[in-house]
A = this chain, B = another copy of it.
Amino acid sequence: MTNIKDLAKMAGVSVSTVSRVLNNYPFVKEEKRMAVLKAIKDSNYQKNINAVHLSKGKTQMIGVVLPFSDYPYFALLLKGISKQAYKYNYKLLLFQTDYMESREIEALKMLKQKQIDALIICSRTCNWSTIEEHLLFGPIVLCENVNKKLVSTTFVNHYKIFYDALEYLYHKGHQRIGYCIGRKSGASSVKRNSAYRDFINQYNLPDNHDYIFDDCLEIDDGEKVVQYIKKMDTPPTALLVTNDQAAAGILTACQKAKISIPDELAIIGFNNEPISKIMNITTIEIPLEKIGNNLFLQALSGEISNQEIAVNLIERGTV
């Protein structure tokens, strides 16, 4: 492998001049520039990017932490991030964590070790203090509303969205409303739960813990929810399902179980994933690709900002 030293020798100039040519500096005599260019061509030279990284202390790489890449929610987020990354000539280093804290910490360590210039965490598992410790080493961007002012965030207001959706169902005549979430311990789940409790109290509705289902992450998870509901004496008449995959699974399971949608059970999904369109599921559109764009730009700029993104109810056939 030839390096700039070799090029310098071949072209009869110094390494600095080679570097200048390589990086399109002005103030290089055309004659010498040509000589360098010729040497580059003759030697089939390729820059060793690791040397650049070391010298500059930057890598033009940004880390992306997400639990699963094969869930539409995260895939869409990633798509948005990718598009901006390409635009700004950054590369993405992927950390698929399966919600394991240790892997998230590994990503943070990469920031510390300067392998990445910034880190985007699409779904956090570790403590805030762990994040805080790593803030010194580069920008960290989160996809949730933390009320600390030390990190950039792009988020939706899970509390308000949930509360509004519950009221929407209430005004459609529903009194027994349940919901399905992914992880019980997730940051958004906590906010949704508090919205649910406030709603229940506000409208004086019965507080039935059986109406809350967790571990609803993918399409297959719908079946068990419907099985459970079928056995209930007073099942919910409406369900908020925090992703359209699970909503689709529930819808399909209901069709099999001859539960009429929306008459016997109303469903509101989340995200407006492609499946919700063809299955005609009423859903709350979260502009994930746009959020992804935002996350990247925040990671890139380094300046701290906190942006709330609006969502949009798409009324289709399941309410």
Q: How many copies does the complex hold?
A: 2
Q: A75 and B69: CB pair below 8 A?
A: yes
Interface presence of A218 (CB below 8 A): yes
Q: B50 and A69: CB pair below 8 A?
A: no
Q: B114 and A96: CB pair below 8 A?
A: no
Q: B248 and A50: CB pair below 8 A?
A: no
Residue of B nearest to A278 (CB): B252
Contacts A69-B78, A86-B96, A96-B79 given; indicate if A114 touches B48 (C-beta within 8 A): yes
Residues of chain B contacted by A92 (CB below 8 angstroms): 93-94
Q: How distant is the Cα of A222 from the Cα of B278 in the complex, in angstroms? A: 9
Residues of chain B contacted by A53 (CB below 8 angstroms): 50, 53-54
Residue of B nearest to A78 (CB): B69
Identify which of B61, B75, B252, B279 contacts A75 (C-beta below 8 A). B75
- Measured between C-beta atoms, what is the minimum distance from A111 to chain B in Å? 10
Q: B48 and A274: CB pair below 8 A?
A: no
Q: Which among A49, A82, A92, A245 has the highest number of chain B CB atoms within 10 Å? A: A49
Residue of B nearest to A54 (CB): B50
Interface presence of A22 (CB below 8 A): no
A residues contacting the other copy or chain, number (CB 8 A): 52
Q: B96 and A93: CB pair below 8 A?
A: no
Interface presence of A112 (CB below 8 A): yes
Residues of chain B contacted by A236 (CB below 8 angstroms): none
- Measured between C-beta atoms, what is the minimum distance from A120 to chain B in Å? 12
Interface presence of A70 (CB below 8 A): yes
Q: A219 and B54: CB pair below 8 A?
A: no
Residues of chain B contacted by A137 (CB below 8 angstroms): 46
Give A124-148 as 1s and 0s: 1 = Cβ < 8 Å from B's Cβ atoms: 0000000000000100000000000
Residues of chain B contacted by A93 (CB below 8 angstroms): 61, 91-94
Residues of chain B contacted by A220 (CB below 8 angstroms): 274, 277-278
Residues 71-100 of A at the B interface (beta carbon under 8 Å): 72, 75-76, 78-79, 82-83, 86, 91-96
Residue of B nearest to A57 (CB): B50
Residue of B nearest to A56 (CB): B50
Residues of chain B contacted by A47 (CB below 8 angstroms): 113
Residues of chain B contacted by A75 (CB below 8 angstroms): 69-70, 75
Residues of chain B contacted by A83 (CB below 8 angstroms): 96
Residues 217-233 of A at the B interface (beta carbon under 8 Å): 218-220, 222-223
- Measured between C-beta atoms, what is the minimum distance from A43 to chain B in Å? 13
Q: List 6 A-B contacts (CB under 8 A).
A: A46-B113, A46-B137, A50-B50, A61-B93, A91-B93, A218-B274
Beyond A50-B53, A54-B54, A82-B96: 13 further Cβ-contacts under 8 Å? Answer: A46-B109, A47-B113, A50-B57, A70-B72, A75-B75, A82-B94, A91-B93, A91-B94, A93-B93, A219-B274, A219-B275, A249-B278, A253-B278
